[in-house]
Amino acid sequence: MKYVIVGGVAGGASAAARIRRLDEQAEIVVFERTGAVSYANCGMPYFIGGVIDDPEELLLQTPESFYERFRADVRVHTEVTAVDRAAHTVSVRELLSGKEYTESYDKLLLSPGAKPFVPPIPGADLPCVFGLRTMEDTFRIRDIVVAGNCKNAVVIGGGFVGLEMAENLKTAGLKVTLVEAMDQVMPPMDPEMAGMLAAELTANGIELLLSNSVKALKEDGDGCIAELSDGGSLRTDVVIMAVGVRPDSTLAKDAGLELNARGGIVVDEKMLTSDPDIYATGDAVEVRMRLTGKQGMLPLAGPANKQGRIAAANMAGGNEVFRGVIGSSVAKVFGLTAACTGMNEKQLKAEGTEYEKVYLSPSHHAGYYPGGLPLTMKLLFGKDGRVLGCQCVGEAGVDKRVDVVASVIMMNGTVDDLAELELCYAPPYSSAKDPVNYAGFIAQNVLSGRSPVMHWHDLKNFDFRNMTLLDVRTDEEYAEGHIKGSLNIPVDELRERIAEVPAGKDILVYCKVGLRGYLAQRILMQRTDAKVFNLSGGIRLLNVCGIPYDKEV
């Protein structure tokens, strides 16, 4: 059996290696248009910033090492230009020599990946404008950065690549401006969580221009002028386009394979295309979104690697299934880590899904052990308790918690599962009741009616004339800042002073992070006839998200 694979990196290289493990007699040919067959493209921004100094660290396999280990014929700087499905051949062009030939196949795997989207901006083709996809792109940007005469950079786009590039260009010593057309960075997260990342970018010297865009680029010496939609302009030496990607599916389209409306290659659960002998994998394929059952696109390295493994098994006669994606991702933004999994509020609203949410701000390990750092977590769940999504931002312990929640989502789990999970505990790493457990506890209380909640955005437009705002923190905390118009009774004094709480009104209690508010809520719900709500996430959430509260509400 002869297997031809178009594209290396995540999906293609993973597939080639597994085909060999499954079929020792197979002939395997891999075509890769760049000079590297398997490399850590997620590490490229860190090489540009000098965090990773040796480019060899990014090369996971070379053609030589791939052959030595797997006896696969890897041909780099070689592009497949056409597929003849009837003849079972591909047309090939060697990019360095210009030589052209055809190669036969029994089974073909397309793993072309995604290419940076270049918006229709005049001047987007100037020499100082770069996308980031290949090792060659990385070397070109790094060469400019280390040359010493590059002082200013403009990054267009506030997604994963944009934030990583902004940080690393700043680390390399450049003055960096990040321009994002939306009113927030990091689109997979909801605005109040992304606001913490925006504050971290600004605190580390990144000029952040939200709700703005680059409408034109004009050459200016070795650099260019970026003209902005708000009428301003920026002089810059280098521009990084990081406004998203599109599936690189031209080869599949020209071969007559089925594509979706966004150009993604349509595959079934076995990664098989509309041709019985052609499979596809990675950023160019359509995938099933597990939480909705709908088809979509998710260009992430983790799913691409798994798809390559599954496609390889099925090409070699197996019967494996790719069950879909939930969208787990993580990013470093200077001193913060931001991670998310599942659906965000924007997606849930678009789907018409009924849901609830809770916020919490636990320490990343036991509070009595030195060095505990706060996490800000947001849990989204259905009225039936099914876990739908999680977002978390903090300095430590973020990825662990979101990975745990992602596992529960993958198993179609509920908030009860989060509450009952038995997780590793030692003071330097966690608490006996882990933040994930606490998220489950709080969600259980909300669903059971034991703890009705209000949220940060409810403070904006809510009519509080018939509601008592009750701050249950200490007198000292209250004096340092509080929601104006609120009554202060520390929770430990509430039972004795409950007569001070006005009768005949609903009550909104709040504290620093929500725990004391919950305790006060339980007291009030059992000792008064009032409807009592707790401010989810407490006043700390208002602080970390930059939400003003020092006014009469």
Residues 164, 49: Cα–Cα separation, whole Å: 9
Residues 391, 345: Cα–Cα separation, whole Å: 11
- Which residue carries 């993580």 as its tokens? 330
398-410 and 435-448 are packed helices; what angle lies between their axes, rounded to 10 degrees? Answer: 50
DSSP-assigned beta bridge partners for residue 259: 265
Residues 343, 327: Cα–Cα separation, whole Å: 8
Running DSSP on this structure, what letter comes out for residue 264? P
Residues 43, 132: Cα–Cα separation, whole Å: 11
Residues 151, 174: Cα–Cα separation, whole Å: 5
Whether 42 is catalytic = yes
DSSP string covering 155-209: EE--SHHHHHHHHHHHHTT-EEEEEESSSSS-TTS-HHHHHHHHHHHHHTT-EEE
Residues 267, 269: Cα–Cα separation, whole Å: 7
Q: Helices (H) and strands (E) in the chain — how many of each? A: 17, 32
- Decide: 154 and 234 in contact? Cβ < 8 Å: yes
Residue 459: half-sphere exposure toward Cβ, Cα within 13 Å? 26
Residues 314, 321: Cα–Cα separation, whole Å: 9
DSSP-assigned beta bridge partners for residue 151: none
Tokens of 37: 């067959």
Tokens of 253: 């389209």
* Active-site residue, selected from the candidate residues 42, 392, 424, 511: 42
Tokens of 175: 């003055």
Would you please indicate which residues are annotated as catalytic (active-site) residues? 42
